[in-house]
Chain A
């Protein structure tokens, strides 16, 4: 497949994910439960004829945006009956596969009703916007994957916030979106949360990395080499009871390093 066609396929999928998530996010209100909002997300994606997923929609409210839970991330991250209270932070995150191409988009918001918290949350979003600009600079430099992860963590900590993305499975700052469509892209949905295309693609990516020297599929502190190709990058930070993240697609090709959506939660320009 031509490189430009591949990038366009990913951009289109990311556009679908962003539109559905933002459509639901603007109607999130205190009193909504995580499960209710996930059901709305499911409905939006059903309208877009999404049938396959890297992961189905997640919604996290309040202190759950910080992943302070104990035990397995995958089970704790599933939507609960917890209800959003006034002034609480929330995060919506969905990764549909559209026409065989994966996407992964996340939005961070704050429920109305507590002006002081709204100001603190806006500060976190400004930090995220700065990190987004910095990641572009670091990726365009000679920095390796591990160095990039260190710089992001250092940037978050030096602003007095906590690094949350290291609490994801495999402690990832990001994961590759290369290698799709593949043999497992059309795997049926099983349950809620991470799906077979995610599990099988990244497991085989790790095996191929060790057996055949394929590029490492994750961006984390132990990742070898330099960033190369398309990544879903998801820096996640926290302060007090608030957690916030963005998830966007970064393209690092020879002579070209850019976000497919340059602004924080902004339009996917492709």
Chain B
């Protein structure tokens, strides 16, 4: 059990990192895509094709 502790701690930290970075990236993505989204969802956006 004691031998497993460092490995468990490392995997816990790795997964915490995934959650924190993922949440941060989600908000960055939200800011970046705010004005893009209506254009993508506009049904007539592709008329020039």
Contacts and interface: CB of A to CB of B under 8 A. Distances in A.
B2 interface: no
Interface in B1-49: 11-12, 14-15, 18-19, 21-23, 25-26, 28-30, 32-34, 36-37, 39-43, 45-46, 49
Q: Is the interface of A mostly helix, strand, loop or mixed?
A: helix
B40 A222 contact: no
Interface residues of A, number: 32
Nearest to B21: A169
A39 B40 contact: yes
Contact of A210 (B12, B25, B49): B12
A209 B18 CA distance: 14
Nearest to B41: A42
Interface in A66-103: 72-75, 78-79
Contact of A38 (B12, B18, B23, B40): B40
A39 B25 contact: no
A118 interface: no
A79 B36 contact: yes
Contacts of A78: 29, 32-33, 36
Interface of A: 32, 35-36, 38-40, 42-43, 46, 56, 72-75, 78-79, 169-170, 190-194, 199, 202-203, 206-207, 209-210, 222, 224
Given A39-B42, A46-B41, 7 more contacts: A35-B40, A74-B25, A79-B40, A191-B34, A194-B26, A210-B12, A222-B11
Interface of B: 11-12, 14-15, 18-19, 21-23, 25-26, 28-30, 32-34, 36-37, 39-43, 45-46, 49
24 contacts: A35-B36, A36-B45, A36-B49, A39-B39, A39-B40, A39-B42, A42-B40, A42-B41, A43-B43, A43-B46, A72-B29, A74-B26, A75-B28, A78-B33, A79-B36, A169-B22, A170-B22, A191-B30, A191-B33, A191-B34, A192-B40, A203-B23, A222-B14, A224-B11
